[in-house]
Amino acid sequence: MSLTRLLAVARKEVIQILRDPRSLMIVVIMPVTLMLLFGYGVNLDLKGLPIYVYDRDGSQQSQDLLKRFQASEYFHVARVVNGYPAIARALDDGHAKMGIVIPWDFSLRLRDGGPVQVQALVDATDDNTANVLTGYAQAVVQGYSSEIQLNWLRERGLSLQPAAMSIETRTWYNEDLESSAFIVPGVLALVMSVIGAFLTSLTIAREWERGSMEQLISTPVSAMEIMLGKLAPYFALGMFDVIVCAAIAIYWFQVPFRGSYLTLLVSSALFLVVVLSLGFFISVIAKSQFAASQIALLVTFLPAFLLSGFLFPIEQMPVVLQWFTRILPVRYYVALLKQIFLKGTPTAMLYVDLIPLAVFALLLTLLATRTFHKRLE
């Protein structure tokens, strides 16, 4: 293998990248755009949800309960209405996610110490939001109920016996429960999939379409030199994008980084080898830029978005899909990113994900090498 010939092929590919504004846009603009879009646009934190209130009692006690909803960061009392039809219309047109109805005998039942039921009408078109919203509402009402019960017992000279068992929650790794800390690190996997597989899937296919492959074949450059020379610029660009995206995540979105920078670079390099080799393999077998780009998008970006654990927990998927994700390299890379960023897991404890990623890198490199031949077909 000649280093001079390899560098000549790499220089040719760099010139091609610079001449193609679409490639430059993907390399330079798309990583930053994806980070900003997912960092700001995808928010799983359910806060400030609009609710309508129908207070049929109008007492001081019912107002105290409503003030608790107003004080909660999870609710926004959008309007106080005078009937069920107004709540129904608000739920129908999406102006409210929940309607709270306080019964007419609310204060009377509280004074007598009897059970009281507060009605919650929930928009369940999004079942996850409905479940979370119901839980938040129950927590607000339960807190108010405990205070009322304690006051009622004190007025009668009685004492409330403490519960025999309780739970004390301590949140680790993502203490503020911010969805950006969960989402933003995974965007690196999407960026690598685009930069790696999508762009390299066009390398050999572009040579066939432009008729320049015959010229490459007639030169003394070996197949390995062509492959490495064409992939080297994309590897450098991919590692540059890793650094840029990690800097945006840490310094712009304030995502905690508790791991090793070296471990992040090594795991990113392994995943980049995987997607580069896969993209090169697609480019060899497709021989058409359009077909190669579509195949690359199908086998890299979509699995990275849907089946990697980036947004949707793998544990909640059907068992068949859970097993299928085991043959997706991006699953292991996303797991590594979350452990490196949020948990700060030592490198020695990451072998469960690093070893499969290294195996995929080796297998796909061999596949790409064996598939590409320097001859006319």
Predicted confidence at residue 352, as pLDDT, reads 92
The pLDDT value given to residue 166: 60
Which residues in the chain land under pLDDT 70? 1, 152-153, 155-167, 207-218, 373-377
| Radius of gyration over every alpha carbon of the chain, rounded to an integer in angstroms | 29
Chain-centroid distance of CA 106 in Å reads: 44
Cα 38 from chain centroid? 7
> What are the distances in angstroms from CA 328 to CA 165, 257, 359?
44, 25, 12
| Contact indicator for 240, 265 with CB cutoff of 8 Å | no
Q: Classify 81 as helix, strand or coil.
A: strand
| Under 8 Å between Cβ of 53 and 80 | yes
CATH number, residue 115: 3.40.1710.10
Could you tell me if residue 292 is inside a domain?
yes
- Residue 171 domain flag: no
pTM assigned to the model: 0.80
Q: Which of 220, 174, 257, 177 is nearest to 5 (CA)?
A: 220
Residues 18 and 120 in one domain: no
Alpha helices in the chain (DSSP H): 3-19, 21-24, 30-36, 60-71, 84-93, 106-112, 127-155, 179-193, 199-200, 203-210, 213-218, 223-247, 261-286, 289-296, 302-306, 319-324, 329-338, 351-371
| Eight-state DSSP code of residue 326 | G
- 112 and 32 co-located in one domain: no
Are 249 and 271 in the same domain? yes
b/e for 329-366, b at 16 or more Cβ within 10 A?
Answer: bbbbbbbbbbbbbbbebeeeebeebbebbbebbeebbe
Give me the pLDDT at residue 376, please: 45
- Does any domain span residue 78? yes
59 and 186 together in one domain? no
Opening angle at CA 108, ends 115 and 89, nearest 5? 80
Do residue 107 and residue 235 come from a single domain? no
Of 92, 120, 155, at which residue does a domain stop?
A: 155
Which residue type does 262 have? L
If asked whether residues 227 and 357 sit together in one domain, one would say yes
Is there a single domain that holds both residue 291 and residue 149? no
pLDDT of 155: 67
190 and 324 in a single domain? The answer is yes
The answer to whether position 349 is within a domain reads yes
Query: Is 51 strand, coil or helix?
Result: strand
Find the length of the chain. Answer: 377
109: left (phi over 0), alpha (psi -120 to 50) or beta: alpha
Exposure of 88 in the CB half-sphere (CA atoms within 13 A): 3
Query: Both 303 and 344 in a single domain?
Result: yes
Looking at the 3D structure of the chain, how many domains does it have? Answer: 2
The answer to whether 260 touches 293, Cβ cutoff 8 Å, is no
Q: Note whether residue 163 is domain-resident.
A: no
Token pair recorded at residue 101 = 């109805």
Distance CA 371, CA 366 (A): 8
Instruction: Determine the Cα–Cα distance for residues 231 and 308; give it in Å rounded to an integer.
Output: 25
Asked whether residue 167 is domain-assigned, the answer is no
DSSP category for residue 162: P
Tell me the residue range of the domain where 285 lies: 3-42+177-371
Tell me the per-residue pLDDT of 187-224, one tens digit each, with 9 for 90 and over: 888 888 877 787 777 777 776 666 666 666 667 777 77
Same domain for 125 and 66, yes or no, is: yes
- Residue 262 CB coordination number (10 Å): 9
The answer on 140 and 68 residing in a single domain is yes
* pLDDT, position 164: 57
Are 20 and 144 in the same domain? no
Q: Is residue 205 part of a domain?
A: yes
Is the residue at 325 inside a domain? Answer: yes
